[in-house]
C-alpha cells in the first residue's frame, strides 16, 4: 500500500522541464523520490512510462505515469494535491490570464532564446532581436499583474505557475548571456522581469535546484557547438 502512494520523478539535472516539476512538487511540499535518467542510455522503465516522446520528466504516482506536455504535469500537481499554495489562482479569468502568459513565455519567448543559442550570424541576430521584443511584451503584460514592485518575500509565499515557468526558462539567464556574449535580462529595458528573476533566484528552494553556473555554461556551450555543427537552426 505504501508503494501505491509513492511519488517518483524521472528527470535530468540539465532538463529545464524537470526543474519545473521539481519546483512545483517542492512548492507544494510533496515528498518524492528523484531518479536521475541517463539520457544517453534511457532505461526500459523510462521508455515504458513514456513510449510516445521517450523523454524526461515523467512523474509517476500510484504506479501510473503522468506525462509532461505544455505544463500539463503542473496542472496535474495542482489538481491532485490541494494542500499547500495553489499554483494557479481560483478565479477562471485569472487562471486563463496566467495560462496565457505562461504559454507566451514557454512557447514564444523561450523559443527565441533557444533559436539564438543554436544559431549564429543573421539568424542569431534576428532571434536575439525578437527575444528582446518578446521580453518587452511580457514586461508590459506583467505590469497589470504586479502593479507594485516584486517583493521577494511575498513571492516566497505565493510561488505559482508563472513563476515556475519563468524560472525554468530564464532563472539561469546569465548562462546564455555568457555563451552568447549579450545581455538578455536587462535591468534597464525590462526592470520588472529583472527584479522578478532576482527575487526568484534568492529563494532557498530555487537556489537548491539551480546547478552551478559554470556547469550550465559548459552544457550550453556543448549543445550550441553540436547544433552549429549539424546546422540545427
Q: Which is nearer to a second copy, 75 or 177 (CB)?
A: 75
Helix axes of 16-28 and 72-80: crossing angle, nearest 10 degrees: 10
Q: Which part of the chain contacts a second copy (CB under 8 A), choosing from 4-12, 63-71, 174-182, 189-197? A: 63-71
Region from 99-107, 159-167, 193-201, 202-210 binding a second copy, contact rule CB under 8 A? 99-107
Q: Is residue 79 a contact residue for a second copy (CB under 8 A)?
A: yes
Write down the residue that cell numbers 552568447 correspond to. 180
User: What residues pair up with 59 in beta bridges, in sequence order?
Assistant: 9, 66
- Which segment (3-11, 22-30, 101-109, 148-156) binds a second copy by CB under 8 A? 101-109
Q: What is the DSSP string of 20-38?
A: HHHHHHHHHT---EEEE--
- Residues with Cβ < 8 Å from 53, sequence gap 6 or more? 67, 69
Which of residues 49 and 179 has its CB atom nearest to a second copy in the complex?
A: 49
- Counting contacts by CB under 8 A, is residue 183 touching a second copy? no
Stretch that binds a second copy, among 66-74, 111-119, 183-191, 212-220 (CB under 8 A): 66-74
Least Å from the CB of residue 67 to a second copy: 5
- Residue 206 beta carbon to a second copy: minimum distance, rounded to whole angstroms: 25
Whether 189 and 136 have beta carbons less than 8 Å apart is answered as yes
What's the rounded Cα separation, in Å, for the pair 144 and 140? 8
- Residue 119 corresponds to which cell in the numbers above? 544559431
CB 67 within 8 A of CB 46: no
| Residues binding a second copy (CB under 8 A) | 52, 61, 64, 66-67, 69-70, 72-73, 75-76, 79-80, 92-93, 95-96, 99-100, 103-104, 107, 137, 141
Amino acid at each position: 500500500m505504501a508503494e501505491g502512494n509513492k511519488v517518483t520523478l524521472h528527470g535530468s539535472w540539465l532538463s529545464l522541464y524537470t526543474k519545473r516539476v521539481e519546483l512545483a512538487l517542492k512548492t507544494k511540499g510533496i515528498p518524492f523520490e528523484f531518479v536521475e535518467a541517463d539520457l544517453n542510455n534511457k532505461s526500459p522503465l523510462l521508455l515504458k512510462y513514456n513510449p510516445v516522446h521517450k523523454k524526461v520528466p515523467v512523474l509517476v504516482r500510484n504506479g501510473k505515469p503522468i506525462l509532461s506536455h505544455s505544463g500539463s504535469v503542473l496542472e496535474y500537481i495542482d489538481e491532485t494535491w490541494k494542500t499547500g499554495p495553489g499554483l494557479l489562482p481560483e478565479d477562471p479569468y485569472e487562471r486563463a490570464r496566467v495560462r496565457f502568459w505562461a504559454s507566451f513565455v514557454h512557447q514564444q519567448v523561450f523559443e527565441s532564446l533557444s533559436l539564438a543559442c543554436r544559431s549564429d550570424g543573421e539568424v542569431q541576430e534576428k532571434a536575439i532581436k525578437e527575444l528582446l521584443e518578446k521580453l518587452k511584451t511580457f514586461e508590459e503584460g506583467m505590469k497589470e499583474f504586479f502593479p507594485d514592485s516584486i517583493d521577494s518575500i511575498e513571492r516566497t509565499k505565493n510561488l505559482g505557475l508563472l513563476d515556475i515557468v519563468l524560472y525554468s526558462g530564464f532563472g539561469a539567464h546569465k548562462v546564455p548571456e555568457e555563451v552568447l556574449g549579450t545581455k538578455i535580462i536587462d535591468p534597464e529595458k525590462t526592470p520588472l522581469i529583472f527584479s522578478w528573476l532576482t527575487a526568484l533566484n534568492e529563494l532557498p528552494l530555487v537556489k537548491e535546484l539551480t546547478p552551478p553556473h559554470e556547469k550550465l555554461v559548459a552544457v550550453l556551450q556543448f549543445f550550441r557547438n553540436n547544433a552549429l555543427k549539424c546546422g540545427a537552426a
